[in-house]
Amino acid sequence: MRVLMAMSGGIDSTVSAMLLQEQGCELVGVTFRTFDSIKEHCLAKEKGCCSVESIMEAKHMAEKLGFEHHIVDFREVFKEKVISNFIQEYLHGRTPNPCVLCNSHIKWGVLMQQADALGCEKIATGHYACIRKRNGRTYLATAADTHKDQTYFPWMLTEENLQRTLFPLGGHTKEQVRQMAAERGFETLSHKRESQEICFIPDNDYRHFLEKEVPDFHTICPEGNYIGADGKVLGRHKGFACYTIGQRKGLGIALGRPRYVTMVDALRNEVTLGDYEDLYTTGLLADACRIREPEWLQNEAEVEARIRYKSPAQSATLQLEGEKAQVHFARPVWGVTPGQSVVFYKDGLVAGGGIISSVPRFP
C-alpha cells in the first residue's frame, strides 16, 4: 500500500514511518510550509512543526529511512483558512484554536489532494488516535495513551478523511514510542522535546502577533475598562483582544487578591474580572456543530464533553438543534472559553463537536 506520510521532523511522525515500513507499506513523505515565522519584527528563533529547521529535519529523516520526500508550500491556503480566522476571532473577543482548523483544512484538506496527486491510497500522521467502525461509519477513537490522546484536534474530519487515514501510534504510549526510536538506532530523536507553541507564533506572544498583522490594531482594540461582575469600573486594560478567559497574569492591575478574566466584551471594549470560582459553569452553547450520527445523540444524549485539549472529558447532557448544541455538565467545569472547541465522546468514539459560542449561567 502506498501511503503519504506527513512528516514533521519529530519523533512521532518518524516512528510512525518506521512502523509502516515494517508493515510493508511504500511511503512517500511530505512536509508542508505554512508560515514564514522569521520576519524583520521578530527576533525569536524560528521553531515549531512547520519551521525551516523542522522541515529539513523531516527531509533528513525520510532520506535516512529510504523513501522519497516532498516539501509543499501551503502558506497561501494556511493564511486564508487558519491565520485569518485566528485574527478575526480575537478581534471579536473570542479565543480561537488554530490547530483544529489546520487539521481540517490543511492536514486533512489540501493534504488529501496531495495524496491523490502522488498516487497514495492512504495518508498517515503521528497523532495519538485510533480509528474504529460503528454502524458502517468510520470514527475517531481515543488512543491507548490517555495522557497523549489527540482526538480533540481532528474532530472536524469527515468520513472520507477517516477512511483514508492511518494512525500508527494509536495503540502505543509516548514512552513506548521513545523506546522504539532508541531501539531502532535513533537515540537522539528518542529524547527530542516537543514544541508546544502555535507554529506561526514562534515567540508564543499572540498579542505581539496581532499588533504586527493588524495595521489598525490599536484603533480596533483601544484601551478600555476593567469591570467587576457588578459593572463597577476597576481600572484600565490595554485592549480587549489582549485577554483570554481564565487569564490571571499580565493584567497590569492590583486589586488586593488574584483576579481572573471572566468575560471579554468586544462590543463594549470591556474585560470583566472576577474570582477563580466565578469561572465555574454548568453549561455552554456551541455552534458550527458536526455530528457523525445525529440520531445517536438525540433526546438529551449522555456524552463525555471535552472543552480543551488538556482537560479531561466531563459527563454531560447534549441537546442538539441543527448545527447548534446546548451542553449541560453533570458537575461544574472551569474556564469554558468562547472560540474553543467542545468535543463530544461516546463509548470512546468522537461523536462530534462544535465551536463554543457562549457561556450562559445555567441554574
pLDDT in tens, 20-78: 999 999 999 999 998 875 443 343 444 455 677 889 999 999 999 999 999 999 999 99
Give the DSSP letter of residue 259: -
Query: Which residues make up the CATH 2.30.30.280 domain(s) of the chain?
Result: 222-274
Residue 286 pairs in a beta bridge with 325, 356
The answer on pLDDT for 134 being more than 70 is: yes
Residues 6+ apart with CB under 8 A from 276: 258, 260, 334
pLDDT recorded at residue 241: 97
Beta-sheet strand order (sheet of 270-274): 233-237, 224-227, 270-274, 260-265
Backbone φ, ψ for residue 354 (5° rounding): -165, 175
Alpha-carbon gap, residue 212 to 41, rounded angstroms: 8
Query: pLDDT per residue over 232-259, tens digit each?
Result: 999 999 999 999 999 999 999 999 999 9
Q: How large is the average pLDDT for residues 67-91?
A: 95
pLDDT recorded at residue 44: 40
Q: Exposed (0-12), middle (13-18) or buried (19+): which is 177, by Cβ within 10 Å?
A: buried
CB 323 within 8 A of CB 252: no
| Cell representation of residue 335 | 474556564
- CATH match for 279-358 among 3.40.50.12660, 2.40.30.10, 3.40.630.30, 3.20.20.70: 2.40.30.10
Name the amino acid, one letter, at 105.
H
Query: Which residues make up the CATH 2.40.30.10 domain(s) of the chain?
Result: 279-358
Query: pLDDT per residue over 107-131, tens digit each?
Result: 898 889 999 999 999 999 999 999 9
Percent of the chain past pLDDT 70, that is, above it, reads 94
> Which of 199, 221, 242, 289 is an active site residue?
199
362 pLDDT tier (thresholds 50, 70, 90): low
CB 34 within 8 A of CB 202: no
Q: Regarding the domain delimited by 222-274, which CATH topology (the fold level of the hierarchy) does it fall under?
A: SH3 type barrels. (2.30.30)
From the list 268, 225, 272, 216, the residue with the least C-alpha distance to 246 is 272
Which CATH number does 2-190 carry?
3.40.50.620
| Cell representation of residue 34 | 505554512
Sign of CA dihedral 17, 18, 20, 21: positive
Query: Which residues make up the CATH 3.40.50.620 domain(s) of the chain?
Result: 2-190
pLDDT recorded at residue 194: 75
| Averaged pLDDT score across all residues of the chain | 92
**Is 25 noted as a catalytic residue in this protein?**
no
Alpha-carbon gap, residue 338 to 184, rounded angstroms: 44
Q: What is the largest CA-CA distance in the chain?
A: 67
The answer on pLDDT for 11 being more than 60 is: yes
Q: Cell numbers 474530519 correspond to what residue?
A: 157
Query: pLDDT per residue over 166-202, tens digit each?
Result: 999 999 999 999 999 999 999 999 988 776 678 888 7
> Which of 50, 102, 130, 221 is an active site residue?
102
Query: pLDDT per residue over 260-317, tens digit each?
Result: 999 999 999 999 999 999 999 999 999 999 999 999 998 899 999 999 998 999 999 9
CA triplet 78, 80, 83: central angle to 5 degrees?
A: 65
| Cell representation of residue 131 | 480509528
